[in-house]
Structure formats: structure tokens, C-alpha cells
Amino acid sequence: MLKTETITINMGPQHPSTHGVFRMVLTLNGETIVDLKPMFGYLHRGLEKTSESRTYLQAVPFTDRLDYICSMSNNFAYAVAVEKLAGIEVPLRAEYIRVIMAELTRLVNHMLAVGFLFNDLGAWYTPVVYAFRERERILDLFEMASGSRMMCNYIRPGGVAADLPAEFLPQLRKMIPHLENFVREIRFYLSDNEIFKARAVGVGFLPADMAVAYSITGPVLRASGVKYDVRKAEPYSIYDQFDFDVPTQVAGDVYARYLQRLDEMDESLKILRQAVERIPEGEYATKVPSRLRPPKGEAYARIEAPKGELGFYLVSDGSPNPYRWRNRPPSLINLSALREMCLGHKVADVVTILGSIDITLADVDR
Amino acid sequence: MQVLDDLWIRIAVWFRGLLESFLPPWAVQLTMDVLGILLLIVLGIVVVLAFTYMERKVIARVGDRIGPNRAGPFGIFQAIADAIKMLTKEDVTPTNADRWLFLAAPIVVIIPAVLLYAVLPLGRGMVGVDLNIAVVFVVAMGGIPILTMLMAGWASNNKYALLGAFRTVAQLISYEVPMVVALLTVVLLAGTMSTVGIVEAQASFPFALVTPVAFVVYMLAGLAELNRTPFDLLEADSEIVAGYFIEYSGMKFAMFFLAEYINLFMVAGMITTLFLAGWQWPILPSWLWFLIKVVLVIFLMMWIRATFPRFRIDQMLGFAWKALVPLSLINLFLVALVAKVLEPGWVRTGVLFVSNLALLAGAIAIMAQVARKREERARAAGEAAIKRYYGSEVR
Amino acid sequence: MYGKGIVKGLWVTLKHIWGTYAKDIKRFPRRYAPGGIAKRTDYDLYGLFTLQYPEERYEMFPRFRGALMHLRNPETGEPNCTACGACERACPHGVISLEGEGKGKDRKVTAYRYDLGRCIFCRLCVESCNFNAIELSREYELSRYKKDFILELDDLLKIGDKYGIHKTGEAWGVTE
Ligand code: SF4
């Protein structure tokens, strides 16, 4: 009788495809996964506590650093929360600018998610380079408007930091058809690829009921077939004025998540087209004192960030510093289902599944 | 033209004459042999330098980049710069490594790679040794790297390296089978095992046209033997970091690297020899034809590498045993039958070509069927889960 | 048909290879943009996208947030800063520390220390400034050979002279 042993492998914290400092303790039977224990916290910076000793405005740059790929949406969520707490009205133009930025961020994030998924699958950097190319163009727009590519610090409580520069909208108008071409090219290039399908179809299956039980949100949830999107379920900002769909998939595997992201990119472009057409002139922000003292109370606001539902919970005791500053990071909560998705698959699949959940470790550990 | 064609042979003959004027015959023979060996080794190193540069350029161009362009004009000295960097790097041997095995592996890996060059016909009359069992030699020497990779993986005392070594053994041994069967097909058609003889047998039709199935099988198996995408699981950097050579650094790492590219040239050369008529084809000098074909084959491999993701280990083994082995065996049977019945010529080529295409189409249809089934299963599972969720909840 | 995806993929990458060479030919014989400054304006899926950095560089957008600089009063040539300390309070990272002397209108800055290594370029300090005294420059090559990341008032003024900006927030459409 042949006797076999399981081996335990530490994947990470330094590993090329854990997307940051993330550690998984894998118990392997040959190459099959018997057990997986995710361990995180290597990147903990105490952002919540730090922000509690800063003013409401000073915490905005910290939100950039939660999920550094989509800083604009983090700003957005935080701004919505502060506005809810302090009862601030936002001018219409500012709302449009916010929507434009949030959708551009979604594009950036999904591009990278798709690109890095292929990196994890072993495509020699080509899809990721294509994704980076387009991302760079969008980040140029961010830089034009906010002065920084990634740490935008642009969407503030009360509106945005400054009005859009004059070249922004023409540039964006030129870019939308280009981005549509890009999505089309990616579909043409990768969607039918037999090797990719062999790797992705049926791998990392997350049933709809389990996804809800784990409170997964975002593209991962929708790829499992649950039609839930904060933009529709609880419209914030001006999302109820746009005409867009919430795409869903059926299969709930890695391939479905990939398709889901491409579909969402199409929808984002649809929203962008409408926003660019309809954006009004006017004020870009209501004046908010830099040492804002919201009335005593608490507020929770959530938005549909590219990775899922991003929420901020703020408690004010009437002083300029928040009493409690808490955020619900989509990456962390989506990551919680990793074990269920991986059991019984191969080592190579862990990497793919992790890539398809699309996490940012800065968001997980905060 | 004639002059160009046997340029290298003329140089050799002239040099031999020069030596004979002042050396005894045995010394002349010895010098020529040593020179030949040196030449092949130098060829190996030049090949490595040239093809690492080419690979980086091709991959860069696919990604809309320029690629190396700093060291020398157009960056052509990049490979040399890399080599210097490798030489100056710290040489680490892990504490708990099996020391002698660990040190031996990089040396052993390079020897069979260089040895193989001996039977590669680089041009008309340009072959190290015209072995009459060259094909067997190629297969035998191709088996040695498996051992060295296992040596390296085991000796490193690293779990990733061990996983890489497991994969190596599984993968390379599996792909050896379809490769040999494809080789046999060619041997059957050519009626000889000598590489020179095989090239000469392709005077009218390259074997890639006569039996496309064997060509495709050999190409895929070659990619697998070389650990290149989509079969680069041995060193899959996103899964097991670097595979069996994860603990190697400096020049020892460079040895594996060298062996990889020497093998690349070798496999491309074998594909050219076996299926693309080697140095045959008119007008250009024979050695140039050989080089052009090899570069084209290598470009194809790099292009594939730059485009596709990789398979998973079980899928890859399944592909070898369930697709390539039966396909090549059926093809062998077919070719044997047709070659027995028909005389060489247009008719035989036509019959073989058409029947091979039919075989290929059949195999593709079966694989498509399997893939569709998989997709349907995944969909059904998803649908069931959605029903479960929405069924138990009030919407 | 099975295998279609493979062919499609190869076709896309081949187009990209070809596209880069087509752009190369257009640039012949010079590989790098003349003058070394380029603007990202072309929207094309094909063709070279990367920039050869030290030779070529992009023009920074006017709003780019780089290292801090101090502005001078164009008439007197004195720094505008009155050492009110608003930037010190506004900074979330405690990057700035300053000293001043004098009272009321005559108050002048005497020392201003700016820790480049800790600054996150958020521009909150500039937004808090009411005297047109500071602004973020377009300086982005900030690496140093030594750990001299602390810039003093003179260094900051020097950067300011380089850019010749007189008003805070010119590029931002807010000039208060
Ligand atoms: S840019 Fe931000 S971090 Fe830097 S000095 Fe100003 S307020 Fe402080």
C-alpha cells in the first residue's frame, strides 16, 4: 500500500501573485488543496485610528490609501458619509463630476483586475500591459483634474476640490470611443481563448446562496447571479438619473467573473457617455469649513465601489475630530470566501481564484 | 551561389590544408575535432545571447514597448550585460541543501544540451557527426535534463522547488511519448534514422505537409519539453515562483538559463530538420535556409509565449495522454498503412495530407465537445445555486 | 470551431507587433521625440506607447502636485509667507514646521522646514493658505543621494523662482 503525506506550504507573504503581502497556508495532497488558511494583516497601518485623530478634511488623503487603485471611489464614499453626517448639500455639477470620476475609477479597476487575472494565469504580461496602457490614459485625466495619478484627494465633503480644467471634457469625449474599442479588443483577444476557458470555467465556483451568506458584494456577487448593486438598490448621488443595467452572470466561476467585469466596463462607459453629455455648468462645491464640526450623531453611507460595497461609518461627538471612523472594505469581505472557493482545486487555481476576487491588500488590512 | 552554399565547408577544408602543411595527420585530426567541439559550444552561447535578446524584443513589441535599448545600439549587448550581472552576483547555497547534488545539477543540465548539437545538420554537409541512429540519440539525450531538474528540485530543500521537480518529471515524461511517436512517423516516411537522411528524404515535400498531425504533435510536445508557454508549468512564476531552480542564483542560475535557450535552438532545429526540410529549398545557401527556418519556428514559439496563459498541471497531463498520444498513435498507424500501399510521390502526399487534416479536424471536434460539456456543467451548477437562493427568499 | 480563440489571440498580438514597427518607421531616423517633451494625446490601440524616460519626458499638467514651493512678492522680492501657521495646522502628517517674528502686518517668516520624505502631496496646506505664500510645484524628480529630505525656506523659494508663479491656485481655477 502506498503511503502519501500532505505537505504544508506557505504561499506568501512574499509571493509573486498574492497581489501584495498576503499569506495563505496551504495543505496540499500532491497538488490538490485540502485546506487553506488565509492570513492577513501584514499591511495594517491603523488608518481608522489615525483618522480619528485628524479632522474630517484631513482624513480624505487617507482614504486614497485604502484601496490605492480606486482612490476616487474611496474619496467619494467618505465624502457621502461626511455629508450625511453634517447634512451638507452638494451642487449638481459636483455630483456629475463625482459620477464621472467614479465610473472612470471602475474602468481602471476592472482593467487591472482582468489584466492581473491573466498574469496569474501565466500570460506573459501581455494583457496586463494592454490594461496598463489604457489605465495610464485614464490616470492622465485624473492627474489633469486633481494633480495626482493615484492619490487623487479630489472628491471632498461638499463637492470636489476644484472645477474640471477646460481640456478635461473634450479629452474624455475623445477617450470614450477609444475605451470602447479597447474593451472590444480585450473581448476579441481573450474571451474565446480555449486555454483560458480550460483554466477558468468551473473553477472557483461560488454558489449564489453562499455568496450572500458570506456577504460578498460587487462583481463577484453579480457573477454568481445575484442582481445586487448599490447604485440601483439604494441610489446615492445622482445615479437614479442615469440609464444603465446591472449585468449578471450565471456560472459564478472565474470565467463568469471575468465576463462580469467586461460587462460592467461597458455599462460604465454608457454612464460616462450620458454624464459627459448632460453635465451642467455651475458651482463645483459648497463651502465647507476646514475644521468641520458636524452635529452629534452617526452616519453610515455606502457606495458601489469597483470591488464591491464600500461603506463608511462615522460617529461625531461634536468636535472637529470623528469619534469613530470605520470603513467596510469590500476586499476584506470578499476575501472571506476564498477557502470555500479553493477547496478541492489545484495550487495553480488558488492563484487564479485570488486574482478573480480582485483584492487590494491595502484595502484588506487598512 | 555554389560558393556561398559551401562557404563554411571550404573554410574548413582550407584550414585543414593549412594545418596539414606543418602537423602530423593525427594532430590535424585532433585539432579539427577539438575545434569542431569548441565551435559548437560557441554556437550554443551565441545562440543564447541572440535568442534572449530576440525573445525580449518580441515580447516587448507585443506589449507595445521597445524592449532593451540601452546597452549598445538597439540594445544588442543587453544579453552580455545580463551575463556580466549574473557573474557578479552572490552565489548562494541554502544551508540545508544537499550540497553535491545542488552543485552538480547546473553542470549536468548543460552537457546533454550541447551534446545534442552534434547531430543537427546545419547545412548541406555541415553536421557534427552523421550518426545513423541520430534520432535515438536525440531522444536519449533529451531524457537527461529530467534527471537534472529532479536533482535540482530535490537538492534545494525547498517545497516550491520540490513541487516544480514533481511537475517536471510528470510533464517531461508524459510529453516524451507523443514526441517519440511523432518522430517515429517521420522515420517511417524517411526510411532512415539519420538526421541527414531525413533532410534528404524531404527533397520534394517537407514532412510538415505530408503529415501535419505529426508536425503539430511534435511542435506541442517540443513546447512542453522546453517549458514554454502554454506548458511552462515547471517554472510557473505565479504559482510556484520559479520551480526547480528557485534556490539557484548567480552563475548557477545562468547555467539553467543557458541550457534552456540552447535547448530552444535544438528543438527548433529538430522541428526544422524533421518537418520543414532542414536546409533544403532553392536559391539561398543551405545554412541560411536552415537559419531562417529555425528563427521562424522560434519566433512562433515566442509569439505563442507572449500571447497565451498557461495550462494547469492536470489539464496538461490530460492533454498529453488523452489527446496527443492517441492522436499520434492513430497517425502512425495511418502513415504506416499508406506508406506501405502507395509509392512516394504526389498521390501519396495528397492522400496523407487530406487524411491528416481529417484526423486533426476530428480531434478538434472531440475537444470542442468536451469543452462545451464543461461549460454546460458550470452553468447548470450556477443556475441551481441561483434557484436555491431566490427560491428560499421572498424577493 | 475549437481553436478559434487561439487564432484570434495570435492575430491580436501580431497586429500589435506590426503596429509598433509601423510607428517606428514613422519616427525614423530619430527614436526619441525632439526636444524631449511629449504630450499624451494620440488615442490609438496600436503602436509604441512607452516613453524613453531620461531623454523624453511628458509635460506635467499645470495642476500636478509635486514638492512644495514658496512664492515671492513680485515687487519686493520678499517671501509672501507671514508665518501664520495655517499650513502647519492643516497638514495631516506634521510635515511643516515654521517660525516667524513680528506682529500683525509686519510678521515675517524666519524659518520654514518642510520634510519632503513625509509629505504625501495632498495640497491641504496650500488650500489653507490665505496669503499666496505656498503652492505645490511641478517638481517630481525628488529622489536624493543622501537623506537630506528636509528643505529649508531658501530651497523652497528657489523652486518657487524656477516656476515664476505669483498666485496660489492659478491652475486650479481658484484664486482667493
Ligand atoms: S502637501 Fe499635504 S502632506 Fe505635504 S505639506 Fe502640504 S498638507 Fe502636508
Phi and psi, residue B158, nearest 5°: -135, 140
B385 in contact with A, Cβ within 8 Å: yes
Cβ–Cβ gap A250/B386 under 8 Å? yes
> Separation of A167 CA from ligand 1 center, angstroms?
27
Rounded to whole angstroms, the Cα distance separating B69 from A134 reads 24
Q: Which residues of C touch B367 (CB under 8 A)?
A: 2
> Separation of A94 CA from ligand 1 center, angstroms?
24
Sorted by sequence, the CB contacts under 8 Å of residue B193 that are 6+ apart come out as B132, B133, B134, B135, B136, B187
Q: Between the CA atoms of B152, B155, B161 and B162, what dihedral angle is there, to the nearest 10 degrees?
A: 110
Nearest CA to ligand 1 atom 2: C122
Q: Which residues of B touch A119 (CB under 8 A)?
A: 238
- If one counts every other C-beta atom within 10 angstroms of the C-beta of residue B94, the result is 16
> Separation of C90 CA from ligand 1 center, angstroms?
8
Taking an 8 Å Cβ-Cβ cutoff, which residues of chain B contact chain C?
58, 61-66, 69, 303-304, 306-308, 364-365, 367-368, 371
Which tens digits make up the pLDDT trace of A38-55?
888 888 888 888 888 888
Confidence of residue B267 (pLDDT cuts 50, 70, 90): confident
Rounded to 5°, the CA angle C67-C68-C73 comes to: 140
* Nearest CA-CA partner of B186 in B390, B42, B356: B356
Rounded to whole angstroms, the Cα distance separating A130 from C45 reads 9
> Separation of C142 CA from ligand 1 center, angstroms?
15
Cβ–Cβ gap B65/C6 under 8 Å? no
* Nearest CA-CA partner of A50 in A40, A41, A60: A60
Alpha-carbon distance values, A243 to A94, A181, A205, A312, A328 (Å): 19, 21, 31, 26, 28
Q: What is the largest CA-CA distance in chain A?
A: 80
* Nearest CA-CA partner of B325 in B352, B273, B363: B363
Which tens digits make up the pLDDT trace of B72-125?
777 788 888 888 888 888 877 778 777 788 888 888 888 888 788 878 887 777
Question: Taking a C-beta distance cutoff of 8 angstroms, is the pair B237, B163 a contact?
Answer: no
Question: Taking a C-beta distance cutoff of 8 angstroms, is the pair B311, B319 a contact?
Answer: yes
Helix locations, B128-249, DSSP H: 134-155, 159-190, 195-201, 207-210, 212-225
Question: Taking a C-beta distance cutoff of 8 angstroms, is the pair B216, B182 a contact?
Answer: no
> Which chain B residue lies closest to C13 (C-alpha atoms)?
B62
Alpha-carbon distance values, B179 to A256, B131, B215, B220 (Å): 36, 20, 10, 9
Alpha-carbon distance values, A76 to A94, A100, B262 (Å): 11, 11, 55
Q: Which residues of B touch A133 (CB under 8 A)?
A: 64
* Partners of residue C134 on adjacent β-strands: C70
* Peptide bond just before C29 cis, omega within 30 deg: yes
Helix locations, B226-345, DSSP H: 250-275, 286-307, 313-318, 325-341
Antiparallel, parallel or unpaired: β C37-38 and C57-58: parallel
Helix (H) or strand (E) segment spanning residue A261 = helix A254-278
* Nearest CA-CA partner of A47 in C134, C20, C120: C120
For residue B312, give the DSSP letter.
P
Nearest CA to ligand 1 atom 4: C119
* Nearest CA-CA partner of A203 in C3, B242, B315, B320: B315
Cell numbers describing residue A34: 485540502
Phi and psi, residue B246, nearest 5°: -60, -35
Print pLDDT tens along chain A (366 aa): 677 778 888 877 777 767 778 888 888 887 788 888 888 888 888 888 888 888 888 888 888 888 888 888 888 989 888 888 888 888 888 888 888 998 999 999 998 888 888 888 877 788 888 888 888 888 888 888 888 888 888 888 888 888 888 888 888 888 888 888 888 888 888 888 888 888 888 888 888 888 888 888 888 888 888 888 888 888 888 888 888 888 888 888 888 889 899 999 998 998 988 888 888 888 888 888 778 888 888 889 888 888 888 889 989 888 888 888 888 888 888 888 888 888 888 887 888 888 888 888 888 888
* Nearest CA-CA partner of B142 in B116, B119, B161: B116
Question: Taking a C-beta distance cutoff of 8 angstroms, is the pair C68, C136 a contact?
Answer: yes
* Identity of the amino acid at C157: L
Instruction: Give the pocket of ligand 1 (CB within 6 Å).
Output: C 68, 90-91, 93, 95-96, 119-125
For the beta sheet containing A322-328, the strands, ordered from the edge strand earlier in sequence to the opposite edge, are A297-305, A308-316, A322-328
Q: What is the pTM of this model?
A: 0.85
